[in-house]
Chains A and B, each alone.
Chain A
Amino acid sequence: MNDFSEIESKLRTLRPVQPSADLMTRIERALVEARHGESLHPGKRSTRLRSATARQASTAGVLPREPRFHFNWLSLGLGLAAAAALVLFAFVRLERPAKKTPSLAAITPAPTFSSANANAQFVPAGLTQVVYRTRDEGLHFPNNSGQPMRRVRSHSRETLRWRNPTTGASLRISYPSEEVSDVPVTGQ
């Protein structure tokens, strides 16, 4: 290496061109902009930074590093799907027609809550009985009695409803029923 000491020393006398005065300010600006998460396009960066430098003074003090932010596309997708499902569900609920209460039936009055069963899970909320067919089966003499009885057979559908006052959930049971009644015949 000693053979090259002379040429090395001559090379060291060469002084590289110094950077322009605003380069440090430009870098400082770029670091500040990078901290704010601005996406810089390499092709456009320099010109924009130079003009920004001309307008603004350099920042001083501390340059905190930008927080590393990793965008999670999976979370975004799941969130959007959940939001869409929620909107769809609300739309379906709004579109559902109101139920008609049968005028034919005997409807029990709405129950009143007592403090005793306020904590019960489900409390009775109503009973609806819809009689949709009644048939007169004529006179009968039940149990060999001498008193004639008129037998009436009726078909109905009964619906029982319960409601949870704390959660608002409701439970409904509906079943058909048949009732046979003997009505005494008098006045003959």
Chain B
Amino acid sequence: MASTETRPAGAGGTAITPAPVRVVVAPAGWRADLRGVKVVWQREMIRFWRDKLRIVTSLLQPLIFLFVLGGGLAQIASGGTEGVDLRTFMFPGALAMAVLFTAMFSAASVVWDREYGFLREMLVAPVRRGSIVLGKCIGGATVASFQGVLVMALAPLVHVPYSLAMVAEVLALQLLLAFMITAFGVMAAVQITQMQAFMALMQMVVMPLLFLSGALFPLSGLPRWLEVLNRLDPLTYAVNPIREAVFRQIDLTPAAHAALLPGITWFGWQVPIAVQVLVVAAFAGVMLSVAIWQFRRA
């Protein structure tokens, strides 16, 4: 692959001139694209690890919702939770939230990268642009799931015992959710060049989606309009399976189960968990495709 050639030192040549190392750069193809995915992912990991403050601040928001809001409302809500602690009920919501905000920040790095020029270094590289987008999304999903695991560690504080099955199931769902949000964020970041505008948009989109998803309230007995919006919200189909996985750990009375975990129905049809997960995966796939398509044209 490589040969070393020596070259006579030219007249007035400087002392630093060693024999050049000939490099034959690898050809294009799926290997090159895979390398692109890997190296973009690695960079996300390095940068996340450097930014300890971000790890802490992204954790703060779900914890505030869980313990401050959940703790404060527990008294007045106790009539409707059939004996289940409100914090226990909100725990799956907090698991989704932890992932949501971190994934959003990961996508925001595209805006930074453009601002500081690094995006161009990636765009001129001899790899497909799709592999850069994919690396970003996988990176965002990894980082966000790490945050999700930190929140998951708090389970005993809200009366949820650990089990391997729950951890594995929730982690997989968090990965998928984070991937979808990062892809959505990257898609938006291609259009928006200003950080403030990007963050404002994400807040404007993500907060309502979070509230509508049922992360903080049960899906039973909702007003009609709220029920319709809830069913249209892609987050619903990630939050509900996470809640099912967590509540499998707890002995619920049939009444509590009916009140807190009614499941999702489409026109009266009980949507199986597998279909719900498929909905999230489909959304993630569409967002990723749009993001890649936009990156190609950028």
Task: Determine if chain A interacts with chain B.
Answer: no
On A, residues with C-beta under 8 Å from B are none
